[in-house]
Structure 1
């Protein structure tokens, strides 16, 4: 059957439906954003774009965004590489718990990370007060600075680099290490001459992803940058829209376009250098190497556990301690400890239950929708030919571009697209929970698609041909053959989508309204409004819920198929 005829046949309709859904969620809002930002009264115009680039505040925010993101990505790459090499190549013990704890900061929302570190290092820090190391009352908070922002962005995104490098090491060809050892190469020579050079493409990928993630980060940049007068582009957009309302949408759209162009330029540079490197680790997942550290093993393990304690335990203990006192700044003791803040946010603040319900429903529904769409789109990516494959590839490209663009840009695009009532139904999504839901699908589609697409590439295309010869239609082939085979990957992607969307604030910061609050927006509003102890209590509950969910999934791992839990082998 010719490609065009196949596309128009019954089996092409599901792909057409997926294409329309993805365009509605991903392509249309971004196209409208660029249209409004680059248009004037007489059509295409760069007047607003030129005004933005001539503005000192925009240029300063652009430089701050690039500077902090570049530095944080560089440090995150170094830390992530060091952790991946130590855990992935050596004989350090307790690798499972270490991997879980190292990845945990990535699952904690950035604004919660910022709040916990603000409370951990300030003059009112209960931990530093116990140790007698707290700064003098009234002194400048040490984390309200460019260095503080870079440090927290590094902590937030180094687990991402670690995850990428660890996955690359799992595909490391063992024959190379065996040959090097037979030739007499020691651990250091093996590391510097073989391992690190082969990791170069994944290192570049990790750096680029950390850079893009830091570039679009809102929670850390807002809570630390505003007091430090270190404004980045996401914070500038939020402040202008929050101060002046929808009337400034065209001006904010131009800033969003600038941020999107910087992101796409960074990814283009990454792609260019990766093509020139022409290096890749190829192989099936294998048992990790176990280079013997000898007398250095104890020191290496102590260093990793100290890193985990410094980046995870200190801020979380400070967060909990702040939640247990009546007033922020009051030392924690048996006389001051109280559960009133937890009681307030759980029993007396109706917004708390509403936020947890909204976040659970939107994150869960988005994760399920993305899993289903990914299974369908992945099928066409691997089995499609000609026009079908081109259409599927174009759809996947839209998904990748949307994921790469910062969440606040997605928010602006969705406001522009859905602030007016929808045609025919005369219903406006703006100001409802539905706009947050479809924004989650748009922003996190690529998170669910990547593992499913990778699973499809491991399948033999002849499975589809054999099922066709047997007379199985599309739905029967999907239900009996392909969906069961890629279900673990789809479940893994759905778990990552849920954990990412459940606590996020970057996408929902500009989309929420009364009645559609999410966990992230409630915590941010508490802190921004000066209710620090309530923010700490809400954040502590959120962290506990995230940890319990991840721990519960770990307990279920033996009963699940391999690959369902993203952070387990």
Structure 2
């Protein structure tokens, strides 16, 4: 028997292990997916996980003496911050959602004088940092502000500096999110359904409220949720109000726990956990709304929305432009006026107006010039990194189909919705941890951490821009190149990049522009004695140097706009053979 088994073993064909290797070999797309997933996990998912797990980690480390989630109900400041954040965000969500929806309906239903410029103004409001808008309102409505000096009354101050007034300000800042959501839904006409309602004897107003509005309900609800998400995570408004009106919110209380002595990372972790939970619930509601199906109305007879001339065009134009004037004209116009004033409370006298604020920005060792230089350097590096990362992520999400895509898409969506305060707290927990220090990777207190954080906030917008452009590329072109032996890098370099180069330039420059005035992340993560633009502006405003603060905003905004315009022109000229205007 042993001899027989030995002969059988000798006769059996040997196992060819080379044929088993492909079973464990990853394709280039899979390697790219794992690489992008690892980077996004390090920039987004791990910081978020550390924030959510912070109460558990504190309990494991300290035991029963750890600060628990339930302690928020025993601390008056914490409870007030939670209540204020919820009241402000819910109120701004409802009011801003209605504002954006009504403006979108007016803009896309009728033509009126200046209607083509409404979209441009809305995008400007969306891009302007919230703390700049809030500072403008403080300068206009404070007890010694522009409105009091013009009218001699404190009526505007009393109307603005109360919870309802702050809801109105945040609604007027964030309504563009609802406007864009509703505008997308209004691209297609409901004319047939509206005519059917009129033939049934309903008036125009009845058709509007019983046919048109119900069919637009998903877009309206999406807009409300988007305004809610952006408002509850906003850090700029409470930062601007700190010297004029005490209204603590969760983002500002988290910032105070880390930046005021004694530093309490445990308290910041608990509050950030509450804010993260609220954001996750809001995101769940948002995605649930987007998946709603009972509102489908497009058919083979549907066409693009037509915009006839309004019955009363001047009246409609007056209402729209009056609203936009109040929303952006008052705060920005006030800030521009104050930038030329010596002292705000000295009034409208000719001696109180000069260029001194702009000149003083660059006197001696200019902290403004240093902060602007550092902000440009950080924004430049992060915009390039985010564009590269977004380009590769958009390729995976558009042209590949694997299990990693859902996680990559989720990471990009989270970083777009999660406030900078929470992301900053998560970065501190990750990059200030002892296990990274033992590996020599402790980046907390270094400028490189600002680059990584800015990259994390810039990636999601860049991904959306590039995915829209890549959706126009037939996958057959990539398949044909693959069959001809072209590698992944060659396909990306010779096919995908030339076809989406315009979008890639836009994504890079938009990331640069959004990073220049980032306040929350730069305030929380900047190294000691490392000046950054947005914290400098906020510090000058808090100290009462309103002229310096506003002048810095306009100088920096002009410089950033010039850099974007020059880079855009140079890039388009350099790649002119690939870009057709």
TM-score bracket for this pair, using the shorter chain length: 0.7 to 0.9
Q: Which runs of 5+ in 2 are unaligned?
A: 1-18
Query: How far apart in 2 are the matches of 1:558 and 1:134?
Result: 53
TM-score, normalised via structure 1 length: 0.86
1:251-288 alpha-carbon deviations (Å, 9 max, x no partner): 21111011000110111123234434443687999865
**CA shift at 1:325, angstroms?**
2.1
Moved more, 47-56 or 442-451: 47-56
Residue 81 of structure 1 corresponds to 101
Moved more, 461-470 or 22-31: 461-470
Moved more, 497-506 or 258-267: 497-506
Match of 2:49 among 11, 28, 31: 31
Q: Classify 1:225/1:529 alpha carbon distance in 2 versus 1 (closer, same or farther; 3 Å).
A: closer
Contact 1:374-1:490 within 8 A present in 2 as well: no
Verify: 1:538 aligned to 2:558, yes or no. no
Residue 250 of structure 2 corresponds to 233
TM-score, normalised via structure 2 length: 0.85
**CA shift at 1:409, angstroms?**
0.7
Please report the RMSD computed on the Cα atoms of aligned residues, expressed in angstroms: 3.5
Q: Classify 1:550/1:331 alpha carbon distance in 2 versus 1 (closer, same or farther; 3 Å).
A: farther
**CA shift at 1:240, angstroms?**
2.0
Q: Classify 1:72/1:289 alpha carbon distance in 2 versus 1 (closer, same or farther; 3 Å).
A: same
Contact 1:126-1:332 within 8 A present in 2 as well: no
Query: How far apart in 1 are the matches of 2:398 and 2:23?
Result: 19
Contact 2:145-2:344 within 8 A present in 1 as well: no
Query: How far apart in 2 are the matches of 1:327 and 1:13?
Result: 60
**CA shift at 1:427, angstroms?**
5.2
Residue 321 of structure 1 corresponds to 337
Match of 1:400 among 410, 413, 417: 413
Please list, as runs of the form range in 1=range in 2, the aligned pairs for 1:114-153 lying within 5 A after superposition.
114-126=134-146, 129=149, 131-135=150-154, 142-153=159-170
Contact 2:218-2:292 within 8 A present in 1 as well: no
**CA shift at 1:114, angstroms?**
1.2
Contact 1:199-1:281 within 8 A present in 2 as well: no
Q: Classify 1:507/1:280 alpha carbon distance in 2 versus 1 (closer, same or farther; 3 Å).
A: farther
Contact 2:242-2:542 within 8 A present in 1 as well: no
Residue 465 of structure 1 corresponds to 479
Verify: 1:105 aligned to 2:133, yes or no. no
Q: Classify 1:201/1:41 alpha carbon distance in 2 versus 1 (closer, same or farther; 3 Å).
A: closer
Residue 199 of structure 1 corresponds to 216
Residue 375 of structure 1 corresponds to 391
Residue 567 of structure 1 corresponds to none
Q: Secondary structure of 2:520's partner? A: coil
**CA shift at 1:241, angstroms?**
1.9
Residue 419 of structure 1 corresponds to 432
Moved more, 181-190 or 107-116: 181-190
1:309-330 alpha-carbon deviations (Å, 9 max, x no partner): 2222222232122222222311
Q: Classify 1:183/1:273 alpha carbon distance in 2 versus 1 (closer, same or farther; 3 Å).
A: closer
**CA shift at 1:465, angstroms?**
1.9
Residue 320 of structure 2 corresponds to 304
Paired residue total: 551
**CA shift at 1:365, angstroms?**
2.4
Query: How far apart in 1 are the matches of 2:540 and 2:275?
Result: 28
Q: Which runs of 5+ in 1 are unaligned?
A: 565-569
Residue 512 of structure 1 corresponds to 526
Verify: 1:259 aligned to 2:272, yes or no. no
Query: How far apart in 1 are the matches of 2:100 and 2:21?
Result: 45
Moved more, 459-468 or 149-158: 459-468
Verify: 1:213 aligned to 2:230, yes or no. yes
Residue 15 of structure 2 corresponds to none
